[in-house]
Amino acid sequence: FPSSEQEVKEETEQVNITVVTEGFKPLVLLIDDDHDFVNFTKRLLEQEGYVVLAALTAEKGLQLYMNQRPDCVILDFVIPGVQSFALLEQLLIKAKNEFIPVMMVSAEDDPAVILEAYRKGVTDYFLKPLQQDEFLVRLKNRLDTRMGIQNSVMIDELTGAFSRRFLDIEAKRLIETYHRYGEHFSVALLDLDHFKQVNDTYGHPVGDRILAEFVHYLNQSKRKLDMVFRLGGEEFLMLFPHTTKDQALKTLNRFLEGFHDIVFHEAEQSFQVTFSAGLTEMIEQTQSLQPLMEEADQALYEAKGNGRNQVAV
Ligand code: GH3
Ligand code: MG
Ligand code: MG
Ligand code: MG
């Protein structure tokens, strides 16, 4: 059916664009013990359309970094205390591993200190008082690069979900956040029901469109910090930060109903699609994503066996 294929393609493209740009404002984490500078810079960045999180201590800064997933960090390294220094060094290592730019802003103009900051992975070093215009342009360039990496490497092209590669980074961050701060999180595997049949009946392009619609639906319905990853085929993984299993169960049941309510129209037929999910929660003994995925997979298997269109725990 050539005409509906054309329709499908356009709609898929639309979905992809919506997923990537919808209401997007870069999140900037600002860490500095200088209140006046923080207040001033926060206002400046908000005027530029950024969402700004501010931390006045290294400890709070690291916590926000791990909990909120910023797109860029602006940092004054000269926060007093040996412990603070160690925490900020940890943050730099994490940021480097996660491709998050770190821009330093400091009154310290000793070339040896500046060189050392670059060696530790700082991407830019600005002296106070800040040359505002240059700072804002370079920040924008850094964020553009960061978003470019995110969109090309970390986003699955067909559906707009995050890619499997990005899952490892995010899971590592959540597991560490759990052990350090006791923040709960839940993990769910989602798999579309009888999807082979959908492809066989309506064609592969329609299947592709449904995959994109599924992710679009989840992205619209989830909380901001929840993340959707495509593991492959019609199988997805969701991470629910700050969420217990009971809370995630309610959310997933809402998704089951909401997605099932979407009516697809193809070749003069209308139909609905369902999915099944297996859910688990981070617990103390867990040190990696692998056992969580195994548990979620076992639960998914049960959901399928019990008739599909349901969540099992
Ligand atoms: P179950 O309810 O047990 O999950 O049944 P199922 O048919 O969904 O499961 P199965 O694993 O047997 O088949 C998955 C199907 O998903 C097979 C394949 O054609 C389809 N599929 C996988 N990746 C894609 C894709 O990228 N696009 C499309 N259109 N279909 C895909
Ligand atoms: Mg299957
Ligand atoms: Mg399936
Ligand atoms: Mg499958």
Q: What is 238-303 written as a DSSP string?
A: EEEET--HHHHHHHHHHHHHHHHT--EEETTEEE---EEEEEEE--TT--SHHHHHHHHHHHHHHH
Which ligand sits nearest to residue 236's alpha carbon? 4
Q: Measured in angstroms, how far is the CA atom of residue 222 from the centroid of ligand 1?
A: 24
- Which protein residue's CA is at the shortest distance from atom 15 of ligand 1? 196
Give the contacts of 165 (CB within 8 A, at least 6 positions apart): 153, 154
> In this predicted complex, what is the ipTM?
0.96
Q: Measured in angstroms, how far is the CA atom of residue 206 from the centroid of ligand 2?
A: 18
Report the predicted TM-score, pTM, of the whole model to 2 decimal places. Answer: 0.83
Contact 156 CB / ligand 1 (< 6 Å) = no
Q: What is the position in ligand 1's atom list of the atom closest to the CA of 191?
A: 4
Write down the pLDDT at residue 69. 87
Residue spans of the chain under pLDDT 50: 1-22
Burial (CB count within 10 angstroms: exposed 0-12, middle 13-18, buried 19+), residue 29: buried
Q: Measured in angstroms, how far is the CA atom of residue 233 from the centroid of ligand 4?
A: 7
Query: Each residue of 104-123: pLDDT tens digit?
Result: 999 999 999 899 999 999 99
Write down the pLDDT at residue 78. 63
Write down the pLDDT at residue 22. 39
Write down the pLDDT at residue 12. 34
Write down the pLDDT at residue 35. 92
Write down the pLDDT at residue 281. 97
Query: Each residue of 238-269: pLDDT tens digit?
Result: 999 999 999 999 999 999 999 999 999 988 89
